[in-house]
């Protein structure tokens, strides 16, 4: 009888599609490394109806009351590590259910990809309720207090620029591991640029601007498409996600004035990204990371409240994107990055450097050892592998890591 594989429980959330996609892809990478993964949605840790209520509240604020979301986010921003969980009525029931899950499944590591779970698990780790090591995977470029907890064993980061933010908030043990995106965006692309364009009816000389707004189609999407179209030299391609009223409105606007190609929810975002000269986004979410992985420059414009604005600022400071503050500046940036300019080369190079590390190597190592340990001086090999163990793509050696100490 074969030995039981070490198990990682990945705590995620159905807040849009990004958290779940990261969890699924990371789980697939762990499986190729001989480590089992189980995805647990935040709603499974809450009483019946609470999870859908939390998602509904967040969606309402993000879509219809961004002023309220901004106030809520500012409260999170001002909270240092360890202070937020005590303010949330969700913490106690989530702790009880998480303790039962750990007792039943006996994971070797908990990995949180949602900030509420990072707080709950950190609080349990600090009180001694949780002996299993915990890592928080910070998926926002802006590190607010909900992402960090001093009892969390390690904080996995997308970019070295996040480490000072984390330490200033009272978190500890930052490890720069880079983003997780699906192989279609990095290593195993299904679409070349010209083939993707032909399939979409786009010309090889079109200056294609892909406008995205997450799975919910949140933000000033119509105004963004209008600004791109009014510049007169770009072809907007816009994805409305699951926001059907937005999709219909964009289609009508395209017939009257914008000329945009409009899509609703798509299962082949890699095809659209491959066809684009630039991606314009408003939240700093997964699609921005996918574009960067594919070598397509990213421009933030009209970001949504809260994490959208904060991520736009921090991504620009890190040098992986630019933040256009008005329509004139948007047109100027699009002019530069849709051509072979110095700005385009810089953005592609600096964003691409984030993918020189392999997050699954760290997580798999910690799961096998049952504790968070300092990475080796050269770091794990930066190679993802297929089901047979064959390398999918080579990467450079790890660098810029902050050593991690176990508990």
217-268: pLDDT as tens digits: 899 999 999 999 999 899 999 999 999 999 999 999 888 888 899 999 999 9
- Up-side HSE of residue 1: CA atoms within 13 Å toward CB? 1
SS3 of residue 393 by DSSP: strand
Q: What is the distance in angstroms between the CA of the first residue and the CA of the last residue of the chain?
A: 33
- Within 10 angstroms of residue 187's Cβ, the number of other Cβ atoms is 18
**CA distance readout (Å), 340 to 297, 345, 393:** 11, 7, 26
The sign of the dihedral angle between the CA atoms of 40, 41, 42, 43 is negative
Q: Give the whole-angstrom CA distance, residue 365 versus residue 136.
A: 15
Euclidean distance between CA atoms 393 and 27, whole angstroms: 18
Tell me which of 24-28, 73-77, 116-120, 291-295 is least confident.
73-77
Name the least confident of 23-27, 57-61, 96-100, 337-341: 57-61
Asked whether the beta carbons of 383 and 391 are under 8 A apart, the reply is yes
> Three-state SS for 301?
strand
Domain check: are 164 and 285 in the same one? no
CA dist list (Å): 9 to 40, 98, 246, 385, 407: 7, 10, 36, 21, 19
- Work out the number of other CB atoms within 10 angstroms of the CB of residue 220: 16
82-107 tens-digit pLDDT: 665 445 677 778 889 999 999 999 99
What mean pLDDT comes out for the span 22-36?
95
Residue entry with tokens 């574009």? 291
109 vs 132: CA distance, rounded Å: 6
Residue 232 lies in a domain: yes
Q: 333 and 382 share a domain? A: no
CATH number at residue 93: 3.40.50.2000
Helices (H), 323-406: 327-337, 342-353, 359-369
Asked whether residue 402 is domain-assigned, the answer is no
Give the count of beta carbons closer than 10 Å to the beta carbon of residue 259: 14
Higher pLDDT, residue 13 or 28: 28
268 or 381, higher pLDDT:
268
Asked if residues 207 and 180 have their Cβ atoms less than 8 Å apart, the reply is no
pLDDT band at 382 (very low <50, low <70, confident <90, very high): very low
Residue 340 within a domain = yes
User: Do residues 98 and 232 share a domain?
Assistant: no
In this structure, are residues 87 and 78 in contact, taking their beta carbons and an 8 Å threshold?
Answer: no
- Of 12-26, 184-198, 204-218, 275-289, least confident by mean pLDDT is 12-26
Same domain, 126 and 261: no
Instruction: Report yes or no on 185 lying in a domain.
Output: no
Helix (H) or strand (E) holding 82, with range, is: none
Residues 337, 365, single domain; the answer is no
Q: In 201-264, which residue ranges form alpha helices assigned H by DSSP?
A: 221-230, 244-253
Whether residue 201 sits in one domain with residue 133 = no
* Overall number of domains in the chain: 2
* Averaged pLDDT score across all residues of the chain: 86
Q: What CA–CA distances, in Å, run from 39 to 45, 130, 257, 289, 363?
A: 12, 18, 44, 21, 14
DSSP secondary structure code for residue 338 in this structure: T
- The answer to whether residues 364 and 34 touch, using CB atoms and an 8 Å cutoff, is yes
- What are the backbone angles phi and psi of residue 211, rounded to the nearest 5°? -105, 125
Of the two residues 146 and 272, the one the predictor is more confident about is 272
Last residue of a domain, one of 354, 381, 402: 354
Residues 174 and 246 in one domain: no
How far is it, in rounded angstroms, from Cα 118 to Cα 143? 12
Q: Do both 239 and 104 map to the same domain?
A: no
Is residue 401 in a domain? no
Same domain, 273 and 171: no
Beta strands in 29-107, from DSSP E residues, in sequence order: 36-41
Which alpha helices (H) appear in 238-326, and where do they start and end? Answer: 244-253, 269-275, 286-294, 307-318
Starting at the edge strand found earlier in the chain, the sheet holding 134-137 runs 36-41, 7-12, 109-112, 134-137, 154-157, 174-176
368 with 349, same domain: the answer is no
User: Exposed (0-12), middle (13-18) or buried (19+): which is 406, by Cβ within 10 Å?
Assistant: middle
Contact 149, 124 (CB under 8 A): no
In a domain, 400, yes or no: no
Domain that holds residue 263: 193-354
Q: Is residue 228 part of a domain?
A: yes
Cβ(45)–Cβ(94) under 8 Å? yes
Work out the pLDDT band at 401, boundaries 50, 70, 90.
very low
How many Å apart are CA 329 and CA 335, to the nearest integer? 10
Residue 405 forms part of a structural domain:
no
Do 155 and 247 belong together in one domain? no
Query: Is residue 322 classed as helix, strand or coil in its secondary structure?
Result: strand
Coil, helix or strand at residue 246? helix
* Whether 320 and 293 share a structural domain: yes
Length of the chain as a residue count: 407
């Amino acid at each position: 009888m074969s030995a039981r594989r070490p198990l990682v429980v990945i705590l995620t959330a159905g807040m849009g599609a990004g958290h779940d996609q990261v969890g699924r892809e990371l789980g697939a990478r762990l499986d190729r490394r001989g480590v089992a993964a189980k995805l647990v949605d935040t709603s499974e840790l809450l009483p019946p109806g609470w999870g859908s209520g939390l998602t509904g509240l967040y969606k309402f604020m993000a879509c219809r009351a961004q002023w309220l979301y901004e106030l809520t986010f500012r409260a999170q921003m001002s909270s240092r590590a360890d202070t937020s969980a005590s303010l949330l009525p969700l913490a106690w029931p989530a702790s009880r259910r998480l303790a039962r899950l750990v007792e039943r499944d006996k994971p070797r590591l908990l990995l949180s990809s949602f900030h509420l779970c990072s707080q709950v698990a950190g609080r349990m780790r600090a009180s001694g309720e949780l002996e299993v090591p915990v890592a928080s995977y910070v998926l926002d470029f802006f590190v607010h207090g909900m992402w960090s907890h001093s009892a969390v064993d390690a904080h996995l980061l997308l970019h070295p620029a996040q480490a000072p933010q984390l330490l200033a908030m009272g978190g500890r043990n930052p490890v720069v591991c880079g983003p997780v995106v699906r192989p279609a965006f990095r290593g195993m692309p299904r679409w070349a640029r010209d083939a993707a364009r032909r399939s979409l009816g786009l010309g090889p000389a079109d200056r294609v601007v892909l406008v995205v707004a997450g799975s919910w189609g949140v933000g000033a999407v119509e105004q963004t498409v209008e600004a791109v179209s009014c510049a007169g030299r770009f072809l907007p391609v816009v994805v409305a996600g699951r926001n059907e009223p937005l999709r219909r409105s964009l289609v009508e606007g395209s017939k009257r004035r914008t000329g945009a190609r409009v899509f609703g929810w798509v299962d082949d975002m890699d095809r659209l990204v491959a066809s684009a000269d630039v991606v314009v986004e408003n939240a700093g979410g997964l699609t921005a990371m996918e574009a960067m992985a594919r070598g397509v420059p990213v421009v933030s414009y009209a970001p949504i409240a809260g994490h959208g604005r904060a991520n736009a600022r921090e991504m620009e400071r890190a040098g992986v994107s630019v933040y256009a503050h008005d329509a004139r500046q948007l047109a100027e940036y699009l002019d530069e990055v849709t051509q072979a300019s110095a700005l385009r080369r810089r953005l592609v190079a600096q964003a691409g450097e984030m993918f020189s590390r392999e997050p699954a190597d760290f997580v798999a190592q910690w799961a096998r050892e049952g504790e968070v340990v300092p990475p080796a001086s050269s770091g794990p090999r930066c190679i993802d592998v297929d089901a047979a163990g064959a390398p999918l793509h080579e990467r450079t050696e790890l660098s810029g890591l902050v050593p991690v100490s176990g508990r």
